[in-house]
Amino acid sequence: MRAAVLSEFGLPARIGILEAAVPEPSVGDVAVQVEYTALSFPDLMVIEGTYQSLPELPFVPGTEFVGVVVSVGEGASRFDIGTRVAGRLTSGAFQEVLVIHEDRIAAVPDGVDPRDAVSMPISALTAHHALHHRAHVTSDDVVLITGANGIVGTAAVQIAADLGCRVIASVRRPEAVHDAVGKFADHVVSADPDELRTVVRELTGGKGVDVVIEAVGSPVFDAALRSLAWQGRLVVVGFAGGSIPSPKAGLLLVKNVSVSGIQITDYWARRTEQARTGLVALFDAAARGRMAMWPADVFAADQVAEAIDAVRERRAHRAVLDWTRTDGRRAR
């Protein structure tokens, strides 16, 4: 089988397609014939060698995948052979066949595009857990989502709307917003950080928002924190467009607000069933037309180095490797 093997950390990537032995499932495992793998920024950090934990070289990178179960190990009973599944590995997704424990995958329903499903175990699940398990949102909440034109932010808008929340989507470039943001958000705003608090106060009658899902970093973080209502909750999901903020403890005290963070990889490691259940919920939302991902630039697996460059240079909003093809790139 083909596998993309990283031989040295750094960019441009020292990665090539090599022949490798087909793995066999152990107790509780399933073997998956991979159709698509996602290429995310955490993958890029691993390849570059800047992620907090790194495998020993050489290794097969990749975390998110979609494929079909082709064999099952002893004791594995969740999935039949032929079932399309998606999940997350610590590494090793960039290959034609992979082995994973059955508790770490979920079935992809008919009607859900596998090229969308492949980016849900990390990006969309981050938004899901931020809202459900860190912010503990209710249908009465007003939710501000910063960076709502990003992959996580777009997912958060749809999840919050599906929960019945009133949603304010903050974006940097209104012309680069996913259609779902305009469809599901109650308000789409494009304000400078020093204006964001004023805009939010106007939209909420001076009260502020109950929840912030913050993906940008300072100075947007600082403005979003000041936009919280009394006993508001802010959840940090990333720092896509600014510096890492330092919350002022005095503000937390005076307003009785809380700030927390979410790293979804920890949930897959520590609370696997909770993560899997969240992924099932996302697939259900997608099947109901309530969860659409950003369109992907799809690359043949043999073009993994080109895909890495496209993500690194931000030419691709979302990149997916197609392991069923070897004849070049196509865009969707």
Q: What are the tens digits of pLDDT across the range 64-106?
A: 999 999 999 999 999 999 999 999 999 999 999 999 999 999 9
Q: Please name the residue ranges forming H helices in the chain.
A: 41-48, 114-117, 125-129, 151-162, 179-184, 193-203, 220-226, 249-255, 264-270, 272-287, 304-312
> pLDDT digits over 213-267, tens only?
999 999 999 999 999 999 999 999 988 876 888 888 888 998 999 999 999 999 9
Q: What's at 195, amino acid-wise?
A: E
| Structural contact between residues 34 and 323, judged by C-beta atoms closer than 8 angstroms | yes
Task: Enter the tokens of residue 197.
Answer: 């608090």
Question: Which domains are assigned to the chain?
Answer: 2-119+293-331 (3.90.180.10), 134-262 (3.90.180.10)
The answer to whether the CB of 218 falls within 8 A of the CB of 245 is: yes
Shortest CA distance to 131 belongs to which of 25, 228, 234?
234
Q: How far apart are CA 157 and CA 292, in angstroms?
A: 11
pLDDT band at 208 (very low <50, low <70, confident <90, very high): very high
Residue among 250, 249, 212, 210 at smallest CA distance from 230? 210
Residue-level pLDDT at 326: 66
Distance from chain centroid for Cα 9:
23
Q: How far is CA 71 from the centre of its chain?
A: 28
What's 244's DSSP letter? Answer: P
Q: Which amino acid is at 37?
A: T
Check residue 137 and report its DSSP letter: -
The pLDDT mean for the chain works out to 93
Strand (E) or helix (H) holding 52 = none
Residue 330 has pLDDT above 80, yes or no: no
In 3D space, the residue among 140, 74, 118 whose CA is nearest the CA of residue 295 turns out to be: 118
> Cα–Cα distance between 69 and 80 in angstroms, integer?
7
- Reported as a single tens digit per residue, the pLDDT across 154-177 is 999 999 999 999 999 999 887 778
- The closest of 216, 285, 163, 180 to 234, measured between CA atoms, is 216
Burial of 179 (0-12, 13-18, 19+ CB in 10 A): exposed
Q: What angle do CA 238, 212, 176 make, to 5 degrees?
A: 65
Q: How many residues does the chain have?
A: 332
Residue 177 CA to residue 154 CA, distance in Å, equals 8
| Mean per-residue pLDDT, 14-18 | 94
Considering Cα of 261, then 262, then 263, then 265, what sign does the dihedral take? positive
- Measured at the alpha carbon of residue 225, what is the angle toward residues 221 and 227, in degrees to the nearest 5? 115
pLDDT tens-digit series, residues 259-301: 999 999 999 999 999 999 999 999 999 999 999 998 999 999 9
Q: Mean pLDDT over residues 303-323, rounded?
A: 92
Helices (H), 16-66: 41-48
Kindly indicate the confidence band of residue 331, based on its pLDDT and cuts at 50, 70 and 90: very low
Return the structure tokens found at 180: 């779902």
Predicted model pTM = 0.93
Give the pLDDT confidence score for residue 328 in this predicted structure.
53
3-class state of residue 49 by DSSP: coil
For the residues 140-161, what does the mean pLDDT come to? Answer: 96
Which tens digits make up the pLDDT trace of 31-73?
A: 999 999 999 888 999 999 998 889 999 999 999 999 999 999 9
The CA angle 196-198-204, to the nearest 5 degrees, is: 100
Asked if 69 contacts 78 with a C-beta cutoff of 8 angstroms, the reply is no
Mean pLDDT across 118-134: 96
The reported pLDDT for the residue numbered 67 is 98
